[in-house]
Amino acid sequence: MTPLPKNESQSLIDQAKAARRSAYAPYSKYLVGAALRTKSGKVFTGVNVENAAFPSSMCAERNAVFKAVSEGEREFASIAVVTKNGGSPCGACRQVLSEFGLDTIVLIADEEGKLLQETTVNDLLPGAFTPDHLLT
């Protein structure tokens, strides 16, 4: 993995940090913001949206992915995730991200915007179940 240039990674982290302010987390109080850069250069943000019926909640990362896909984007370059303490994407988010490329760079930052980890979807989800597994 080639690390992102510092200005590029910080820009994406800053956008995720700004998005985080719109998160809806009245139950956990754990606000999450994500900013997803596509290979075409567009950025889609997402926030976590909780629901009293917990399984109906949506994570910030999947929110950003679904926004991008709904706009016709299918190839992702990088995603920044900002939480209070630099929490990593959950398993469901890792699986959704793997659908669109194991080489997607994942930036994990805290609420101050400090980059804590730079990795890839492949490193976060080794042995991912991908579309190739469905080929007969």
Task: Provide DSSP, 80-120.
Answer: EEE-SS-PPPPHHHHHHHHTT-TT-EEEEE-TT--EEEEEE
Q: Could you give the CA distance from residue 97 to residue 116 in angstroms, rounded to a whole number?
A: 20
The H or E element that residue 49 is part of is none
Q: What angle do CA 25, 28, 29 make, to 5 degrees?
A: 60
The verdict on whether 99 is a catalytic residue reads no
Of the candidates 50, 61, 71, 111, the residue annotated as catalytic is: 61
Residue 47 parent element (H or E): strand 43-47
Are 58 and 93 in contact, with CB atoms under 8 Å apart? no
Token look-up 């950003």 returns: 64
Residues catalogued as catalytic: 61
